[in-house]
Amino acid sequence: MTALIIVVGILAVVGAVGVVLSTQPLYSALSLVFSIGMLAILYLILNAQLLFAVQLIVYAGAVMVLFVFIIALLNPKAEDRPILDVRAVVAFVAVITITAALFATAHNGITYSGSNFRGAVVGASHNDQDPAYTKHAFDFKPADVNSGQAGNVQTVGGQLFTVFLLPFEITSLLLLVAAIGAVYLTRRVPKTEVDT
Amino acid sequence: MFKEIIKGMAITLRYGLSRPITVQWPEEQKPATPRHRGRHILHRYYNGLEKCIGCELCAAACPVGCIYVGPAENDPLNPVSPGERYAKRYEINLMRCIFCGYCASACPTEAITLGPQCDFANYRRERTVLTKQELLEAWPKFERSRGDMNQRGAGADQRSTGKSLNPGPSPRLAWEAQADETHEAPLPGHGGIPVNVPGVIDPSEESRA
Amino acid sequence: MKASQYLLDSGLRVGNGVAADPVLVFAVKAAIVVLGLTLAAAFLTWAERKVAGRIQLRYGPNRVGPYGLFQPIADVLKLLFKENLAPATRDKLLFLVGPSLAVGTAILAFAVIPLSAVNHGIGAGYDLHWDISHLNIGLLFILAVTSLGAYSIFLGGWSANSKYSLLGGLRSTAQLISYEMAVSFSLIGVVILTGSLDLEKIVTQQNHAWFVVMQPLAFLLYFTGALAETNRAPFDLPEAEQELVAGYHTEYSSLRFGLYFLGEYVNVITVCAIATTLFLGGWLPIVPFLSFIPGVLWFIGKVAVLILVVMWIRWTLPRLRYDRLMSLGWKVLLPLGLLNIVITGAVVAFQAA
């Protein structure tokens, strides 16, 4: 499993580098899609099943599609590759520093153990005697969070609709406001007669 | 809106479950209509003489120019057609023919008509130029051919059996002999002239329009 | 953790019997499904032409083999020998990626669809699952993979570097992402009823009554949305022959065009399989009396009936104009899906109380 994590991580970095270094804007967008896909696989490895699916459905399947639409409609010209001057070196050093800091924090603070993975992908056992498997969504109580099922759809849903209800509703209201604003801003203005 | 969709789908379902109206050619074929213009046929009289007198009117009438007629003089003792000349070579290029039927309209003796056969695709270009052998209908008609519709090339019937035909006395000779005798044209039925010779209209019988 | 250990823990519980290697079982199942799907898609082309012919009061192809069954082989040979024409200014990499992605996502979505019930304890602790990979978020996986399929059409339209292809590709992609929403909403009703995203569990809970009985509106919404997702008539304006030349696959010829076609038919099969699993009871018989017929045959039969209905609709209904297509997706199917969720949720909540 470690090998898989390493490979997926490297591919994600390759995709991200491709976003910056490619000359064609569409290739940048598609590299970003690839990187998002690799991130989704990483989420799956880390027990976050719902996040894996939502990342692919929403991010790679809708948001990036819109990005790609814009690129296709506006058809921007291909750019030149970024020039390696002092600013690029400074940025590179900064990125390396931040990555090393994150790595050190992760290594010391957050642990990964293999026993979590089994619970993540299959939701514990498929044994019909196991109450965790046959639990219906409405049986959920907030105190029942099983560490192996933290990223489970039932778990996340239960938390969203009970413990985190207010932030959830406010966020959806915010999205609604954004959608209405977009519709309003792009409405077709009827031609009015100008009195001179 | 749903009602219309359901009604439409019911119609297509009914069509889908009913018997198709396709005629599976070439296993089943619809009979040709009487005036169907297919492959040409060179006809004969009932006594075996060819109707074509080599006048080349069909070649002149053809808008495409796909007919070639090579006339020759009739041997009086062994005539091919009841006239002074007959068509020794008669060829139609089917790749050029537009099957308009002008040649059949132009022919004075109704020698050339268009028959029902319409499938003559071939892999070789030279086989689409039909010669008199293939165009001429068989004789006797009702012995070897399927009625009027001999589709495989009329002349083939004669060559395959090798029987020589005896068409009987030439009507022309009999006609001239009778004319010498009676100083009038003989009527059909006399002197070896077949009874239903089309195209021979006695001027005295012409009705005044 | 080794790969085989992972597969063991993920439910491919195999004992020390004959077919004990989980990787081998997985590979065999995957090979069967992939080959079966491509063959089935090839013969769907034959079925489409036969059904179209019968509806139009004629026979379909009936010359090439008995009842024209070798027609797909003749078509494949024709496509192989066709000139492989491609625009010189095309984007070479993306030109190839488009059709491959179409077929790939269509087949990948089939990986979680169970063809029959789980066979418990065949050998010593041997559990045979009839889907290639058993995910407990199976439904979300299918939605994720089909939303990735939108890229295939877009890339096909864009990479050909021609304005007709680009317009067709953009239209088709917009249609796809609009109807994704409507489809997702119609599936949530089923998820509320079962409380699980696991496809096997959804099928086993239809033991007493199929979900089409309890959620007829959701079934209709899903079917309509799925027809639009697969770009089938009456929603096939972006790829119709009379419009925009041929839409996003104008510049494709020979084998790549064949791949797009194959991808579309595999998509039709996948979508009908999902509808069968979620609404028509998957491998369950109509009446329990008939359960001696194996579940696989029931499943294939139901999918075949749905595919016939899809073809029947194609040759009956006229094509929708693009703006009416979009307004149908956003203004009709989406609100009806929301209504379905509200009603289903209310009924389930009141019953639980």
Domain ranges of chain A: 127-191
The C-alpha atoms of residue C292 and residue C275 are separated, in whole angstroms, by 23
Provide the angle, in degrees to the nearest 10, between the axes of the packed helices C163-194 and C138-148: 170
Give residues 159 to 188 of B whose Cβ lies within 8 Å of C. Answer: none
Kindly state the helix (H) or strand (E) to which residue C260 belongs, with its residue range. helix C254-279
What 8-state DSSP symbol labels residue A186?
T
pLDDT digits (tens, 9 = 90+) for B161-193: 333 444 445 555 555 665 555 555 555 555 555
DSSP 8-state symbol, B99: -
pLDDT of the residue at C279: 95
Query: At A148, is the pLDDT very low, low, confident or very high (cuts 50, 70, 90)?
Result: low
From the CA of C150, how many Å to the nearest CA of chain A? Answer: 7
Touch of A by B (3+ CB pairs closer than 8 Å): no
Residues of C in contact with A65 (CB under 8 A): 150-151, 154, 173, 177
pLDDT (0 to 100) of residue C39: 93
pLDDT at C120: 74
Q: Note whether B2 contacts C: Cβ–Cβ < 8 A.
A: no
Neighbours of B45 (CB within 10 A): 20
The reported pLDDT for the residue numbered B167 is 43
| Token pair belonging to B126 | 């030279």
Average pLDDT, rounded, for chain A = 78
Q: Chain A: nearest CA to C10, how far in angstroms?
A: 6
Cis peptide before B26 (omega within 30 of 0): yes
What's the CA gap between C128 and C135, in Å, rounded?
14
Q: How many domains does chain C have?
A: 1
**Would you say residue C145 has pLDDT above 50?**
yes
Of B5, B8, B16, the CB nearest to C54: B16
pLDDT, tens digit (0-9, with 9 covering 90-100), for B76-104: 777 888 888 888 888 888 889 999 999 99
pLDDT of residue C339: 96
pTM metric for this prediction = 0.77
Average pLDDT over residues C185-194: 92
pLDDT at residue B48 in the model: 74
Q: Is the separation of the CB atoms in C315 and B12 below 8 Å? A: yes
Asked whether this complex has an ipTM greater than 0.95, the answer is no
Span of A1-5, A104-108, B46-50 with lowest mean pLDDT? A104-108
Q: Is residue C36 part of a domain?
A: no
Chains that touch A (3 or more CB pairs under 8 A): C
Q: What is the pLDDT of residues C233-251, one digit of tens each?
A: 788 877 665 555 556 666 6
Half-sphere exposure of B28 (CA within 13 A, CB side): 5
Query: Regarding predicted confidence, which is higher, C9 or C87?
Result: C87
Could you tell me the fold of the domain covering B40-141+151-161?
Alpha-Beta Plaits (3.30.70)
Between A87-91, A136-140, C69-73, C157-161, the lowest mean confidence (pLDDT) is in A136-140
Chains that touch B (3 or more CB pairs under 8 A): C
Assess whether pLDDT exceeds 80 at residue A4.
Answer: yes
Handedness of CA A111, A112, A114, A117 (dihedral sign): positive
Does residue C110 carry a pLDDT above 60?
A: yes
Instruction: Confirm whether C74 is domain-assigned.
Output: no
Q: What tens digit of pLDDT does each residue of A43-75 get?
A: 988 878 889 999 999 999 999 999 998 898 888
- Pick the residue with more confidence: C242 or A31? A31
DSSP A38: H
pLDDT in tens, C12-67: 444 444 445 677 788 888 999 999 999 999 999 999 999 999 999 999 898 888 98
Question: Measured between alpha carbons, how far is C134 from C152 in angstroms, rounded to an integer?
Answer: 26
The pLDDT value given to residue B151: 41
| Chain B residues touching C53 at Cβ < 8 A | 20
Give residue-wise pLDDT tens across range C111-124: 999 998 887 765 55
Domain hosting residue C318, numbered range = 88-115+135-352
pLDDT of residue C52: 93
Q: How close does chain C come to A67, measured CA to CA in Å?
A: 12
pLDDT, residue C160, reads 77
Rounded to a whole number of angstroms, the distance from the CA of A114 to the nearest CA of chain C is 7
* B167 prior amide bond cis, ω within 30: no
Residue type, B132: K
Strand partners, B130: B92
Report the distance separating Cα C306 and Cα C302, nearest Å: 6
**Total beta-carbon pairs less than 8 A apart between chain A and chain C:** 85
Identify the three-state secondary structure at position A152.
coil
